[in-house]
Amino acid sequence: MTSLQDRAALVAAVAAQYTEQVDRDGRFPTEALRAMKEHRLLSAFIPKEFGGEGAALADIADVVSILSQSCGSTGMVYAMHQIKTSSLVTHGGASAWHRAFMERICDEQLLLGSATTEGGGIGGNLRNSICAVERKGERFSLEKVGALISYGIQSDAILITARSGPDAPPSDQVMAVFTKDQYTLEQTMKWDALGMRGTCSDGFTFRGEGDAAQIFPNDFGDIAAKSMLPICHILWSAVWYGVAYAAFARAQNFVRAEARRTPNVVPPGALRVAEAANMLQLMKSNTTAAIHRFEKAEQGGEDLGSVGFIVAMNNVKIGASRMACDVINHAMLITGINGYRNDTPYSVGRHMRDAMSAPIMISNDRIFGNMSNLLLMHRIEPSLVA
């Protein structure tokens, strides 16, 4: 099999053909998903013993970035699928049901969706739920109202959070897998948003019933701290890096074309290209440093649940989400009217609209709020290398 990155480039080429249409019509990138399945990208993160490739997080992040350079929605769909897969990889090994499910993902190239958001004031407060699993013998059922589920209709399975039982407090949560044949989605909101339009993040009332074995053995707090939060922030950052890079490349092409037209004059946008390149490098360093830190922590170098680690992983999301908007804003200033229009090779409107979702996808203010509490007791490590 060719490398993951080579196969990602083939999928990205497909995504690029349809990205304008996906964005304009707010439709799911069906062709890109088909290509992902054909090139077996959906199972890349799953260990070899279950039929996957056992890819490193760095390689998965690179694939996310490659796809996002062509189509932000496609990159985000792939990132979200891999965030869900990471919970199975990290926490599913101890459960026969989850091990068998990983094999199914590989065999059938299943697409995984996520339902953490909930109505009733919960919103993006990941660590609280209103809905609860109801166990009856070996079976359980769950109803979640106000669930925002990207590509909910296209998902083959959904990983969903809930309280561990009807009497449990809001933060005593579990996560469960439901396969498509085990749930219904009653659509309550149609996704018609500024950007990331192809993610089709519709709102639903979710109702499902399954075997109790489908509930992860670990509590969700453990899953969130040890895999979901860091991997989510790393892979989202990879999406936004890819989107920002694509806008930057258009701006750089614009300035290079200007330079060819007037060989003896440095185009006015050249300085801003240099400035944007600097921000892009900071974005890249931010994400790659987080990948290295996560991988080191996973190997026992640092406590994944420590305050220092959580603060660092939250900062990755905040930094990348802010800087993506800054880079693309620069690209718009460089390209001027050509970037503002939707019909030129230098258009960056879609990139800007996609990137505007970054600071609000779990609101940066919410994350700052969580961190401000942690920083009352935690001292930031002064060493550059520790």
Ligand X SMILES: Cc1cc2nc3c(=O)[nH]c(=O)nc-3n(C[C@H](O)[C@H](O)[C@H](O)COP(=O)(O)OP(=O)(O)OC[C@H]3O[C@@H](n4cnc5c(N)ncnc54)[C@H](O)[C@@H]3O)c2cc1C
Q: Are 51 and 222 in contact (CB under 8 A)?
A: no
Residue closer to ligand X, measured from CB, 26 or 51: 26
Q: Which stretch binds ligand X (CB under 6 A): 168-176, 193-201, 206-214, 308-316?
A: 193-201
Taking the C-alpha atoms of residue 147 and residue 329, their distance in angstroms, rounded to an integer, is 32
Backbone angles phi, psi at 162, to 5 degrees: -165, 165
Rounded to the nearest whole angstrom, what is the least distance from the CB of residue 141 to ligand X in the complex?
Answer: 19
Q: Which stretch binds ligand X (CB under 6 A): 9-17, 29-37, 44-52, 354-362?
A: 354-362
Residue choice 189, 289, 360, 375 for contact with ligand X (CB under 6 A) = 360
65 forms part of the interface with ligand X (CB under 6 A): no
CA dihedral 303, 307, 309, 312 (to 10 degrees): 180
Enter the tokens of residue 273.
Answer: 């290209």
Rounded to the nearest whole angstrom, what is the least distance from the CB of residue 191 to ligand X in the complex?
Answer: 8
For 237: left if phi > 0, alpha if psi spans -120 to 50, otherwise beta; the answer is alpha
124 forms part of the interface with ligand X (CB under 6 A): yes
Q: How many residues bind ligand X (CB under 6 A)?
A: 21
The strand pair at 112-115 and 157-163 is best described as parallel
Residue choice 99, 180, 366, 378 for contact with ligand X (CB under 6 A) = 366
Q: Are 203 and 189 in contact (CB under 8 A)?
A: yes
Residues 131-160 that bind ligand X (CB under 6 A): 148-150
Q: Are 155 and 108 in contact (CB under 8 A)?
A: no
Q: Are 270 and 255 in contact (CB under 8 A)?
A: yes
127 forms part of the interface with ligand X (CB under 6 A): no
Residue closer to ligand X, measured from CB, 4 or 196: 196
Q: Closest Cα to residue 69, out of 385, 280, 314?
A: 280
Rounded to the nearest whole angstrom, what is the least distance from the CB of residue 28 to ligand X in the complex?
Answer: 13
Rounded to the nearest whole angstrom, what is the least distance from the CB of residue 296 to ligand X in the complex?
Answer: 28
Backbone angles phi, psi at 171, to 5 degrees: -90, -5
Rounded to the nearest whole angstrom, what is the least distance from the CB of residue 210 to ligand X in the complex?
Answer: 19
Taking the C-alpha atoms of residue 199 and residue 277, their distance in angstroms, rounded to an integer, is 28
Residue choice 43, 114, 227, 287 for contact with ligand X (CB under 6 A) = 114
Q: Which stretch binds ligand X (CB under 6 A): 44-52, 232-240, 339-347, 360-368?
A: 360-368
Q: Name the burial class of residue 138, with classes exposed (0-12), middle (13-18) and buried (19+) by CB atoms within 10 angstroms of its CB.
A: exposed
357 forms part of the interface with ligand X (CB under 6 A): yes
110 forms part of the interface with ligand X (CB under 6 A): no
Q: Which stretch binds ligand X (CB under 6 A): 35-43, 196-204, 233-241, 332-340?
A: 196-204
Query: Which residues would be at the binding site for ligand X (CB under 6 A)?
Result: 80, 114-117, 123-124, 148-150, 196, 199, 201, 357, 360-363, 365-366, 369
